[in-house]
Amino acid sequence: MKLEKINSKNQETLFGYDDLFLKIVSLYEKNKLPNKILFSGLKGIGKATFSYHLINYILSKNEELPYNIKKFQINPLNRSFNLVKNNSHPNFHLINIMEDKNFIEINQIRQMINYSNKSAFNNKLRIILIDNADKLNLNSSNSLLKIVEEPNDNILFILILDNTKKILETLKSRCIKFNFSLSSNKCVEISNKVINNNVENFLNKDLTNHYNTISDYINLIKFANSSKLNMVETNLKDFLINLIDGKFYKKNQYIKENISKFAESYLLKLLNLNQSDKKIPLLYENHIKKNFHLKKFNLDEESFFIELKSKVLNV
């Protein structure tokens, strides 16, 4: 599979969560799986892929080419798999951030409520997947809360949450939470299997040491391919300079969302190497503060990144 086509919806094999998957499947088979579940963990750790595998297990159960529980694999020719992939399955409804939007909007929740109130096409379980649940704004959260508190029969809600972010506490308390985590070594191992290659063939170790999710590795390799940057020979500092000089934070959504994390990793590395240098902790605290204000008040990112290069990357 080409790298640009790799995403959670079309990952046919589940890696790294065998025990948790079997546990949840067992609950489902015993009719003990709660109808409101929350998958919580770092962004890119594999929660969405896990969700689509669980969804396929449920929807393909009585179909031809059902889910292979022994190999944790979806059959690519399965009917439900292809319908879900195209957002056309009558028993599946997806809510996610729309393109060029910052939040999941209330209209999306209203459409989902209309979907849940309609008569089912069949008697099978209907599944509502809410990805990036941390992007629900207050209005959409409150609207969702109403239906989650008293859901229609035969509906399963799956919410996916970046555990570094927050959601409405009353909404969170209505769900049974399952935590997702992987060691850094496990993330590299799984990434190698997903790309059918070795991440070190694409990325300098100085870069890979600062990432702990599968998505980070894959997105970095995609970026390396699209930008034509030689990231095998590029260390973290030079990588950041290239990002700022080339203004890639304006061209690439992944870089825009993560460039501050790269800078934070660089400063943490400096802290470990120069523990006696008192100016580095101040630079680190100032970077965190300014990054927070940048996002909260929608400030000018251009001046933020120029200052980042002049003050942080010249250390």
- Picking from 179, 212, 243, the residue at the C-terminal end of a domain is 179
Both 260 and 305 in one domain: the answer is: yes
- From residue 87, give the alpha-carbon distance in Å to each of 90, 126, 153, 247: 9, 13, 22, 34
The total number of structural domains that make up the chain? 2
This prediction's pTM: 0.92
Both 167 and 39 in one domain: the answer is: yes
Q: Domain containing 36: what range?
A: 3-179
Cα–Cα distance between 77 and 10 in angstroms, integer?
12
Tens place of pLDDT per residue across the chain (315 aa): 577 778 899 999 999 999 999 999 999 999 999 999 999 999 999 999 999 999 999 999 999 999 999 999 999 999 999 999 999 999 999 999 998 788 999 999 999 999 988 876 677 899 999 999 999 999 999 999 989 888 777 899 999 999 989 999 999 999 999 999 999 999 999 999 999 999 999 999 988 877 779 999 999 999 999 998 999 999 999 999 999 999 998 899 899 888 888 888 888 888 888 877 888 888 888 888 888 888 777 777 888 888 888 877 876
- Picking from 179, 210, 236, the residue at the C-terminal end of a domain is 179
Which string of DSSP letters, residue by residue, matches 30-62?
A: TT---SEEEEEESTTSSHHHHHHHHHHHHHTTT
Assess contact for 141 and 1: CB atoms under 8 A: no
Both 55 and 175 in one domain: the answer is: yes
Both 241 and 213 in one domain: the answer is: yes
Both 194 and 306 in one domain: the answer is: yes
Both 99 and 158 in one domain: the answer is: yes
Residues pairing with 268 in the sheet: none
Both 30 and 164 in one domain: the answer is: yes
- Picking from 110, 145, 179, the residue at the C-terminal end of a domain is 179
Both 161 and 228 in one domain: the answer is: no
Both 20 and 110 in one domain: the answer is: yes
